[in-house]
Amino acid sequence: MGNLTRSATLGLDAFECDPLELRPFATEDDLQTVIRAVYKQVLGNEHIMESDQLSSAEAQLRNGNITVRELVRVVAKSELYKKLFFYSSSQYRFIELNFKHLLGRPPQDQAEIAEHVQIYNTEGYDAEINSYIDSNEYIQNFSEYTVPYPRSIRTQVGIKTEGFNRMFSLLRGSPTSDSDTQAKLISSLAANMSTKITPPAIGNGAASSNIDKR
């Protein structure tokens, strides 16, 4: 478990929660809770319109035809995800957000960034997304039915202590979204330096749903 006092002080307490898993024989309320959590995690706390929801994929999850992991994949490959985080963002920003949204942590070093730049440049968008969701790291931490969540605010094997500072730079407190198009970690990763913690944003966005009706 992470340091709750430290997390609360830095504005991360809203993210200190138990992992959310879709269990067998889940109720419709349970299903909707999981679906909302997937949208919130993968879309970076962005407010989305009801018309933006991926109804077909939601129905497949409801019917047991796909898993939560596959719903995460569908959302990350959707046109909405591309509009939010791909078309208008720098390549570094796109990759650091993929780490945050799909693995629940920041990139640990410049080598990880370079690896994913290479995947995108040689194999394309879908391969870049698949490289996270099909990784051993994803399977070991989230398996098929757990919604990805910010892991770097907890102490975990395989994540460097510096990951907390870098994840904080990406989270910046629960009211924020990921609409900024500029990379947050490029300087510290390139120089292999620690990431400075800055005060969190203040707001009430964490208390509201990220799905709005048009």
pLDDT at 50: 86
In this model, does residue 138 exceed pLDDT 90?
Answer: yes
For the whole model, what pTM was predicted?
A: 0.74
Q: Is residue 161 part of a domain?
A: yes
Bridge partners (DSSP) listed for residue 146? 21
Q: Is residue 95 part of a domain?
A: yes
Q: What is the band of 130 on the pLDDT scale with cuts at 50, 70, 90?
A: very high
Q: Is residue 117 part of a domain?
A: yes
Q: Is residue 67 part of a domain?
A: yes
Residues 6+ apart with CB under 8 A from 32: none
Q: Is residue 213 part of a domain?
A: no
Q: Is residue 118 part of a domain?
A: yes
Give the residue-averaged pLDDT of 98-122.
94
Bridge partners (DSSP) listed for residue 212? 49
In this model, does residue 85 exceed pLDDT 80?
Answer: yes
Contact 97, 185 (CB under 8 A): no
Residue range(s) defining the domain that contains residue 113: 4-195
- Encode 193-212: b = buried (16+ Cβ within 10 Å), e = exposed: eebeeeebeeeeebeeebbe
Residues 154-157: contacts with CB under 8 Å, at least 24 apart: 154/1, 154/2, 154/16, 155/1, 155/2, 155/3
CATH for 15: 1.10.3130.20
In this model, does residue 160 exceed pLDDT 80?
Answer: no
Q: What whole-number distance in Å separates Cα of residue 153 and Cα of residue 159?
A: 10
Q: Is residue 186 part of a domain?
A: yes
Q: Is residue 145 part of a domain?
A: yes
Higher pLDDT, residue 45 or 184: 45
The total number of structural domains that make up the chain? 1
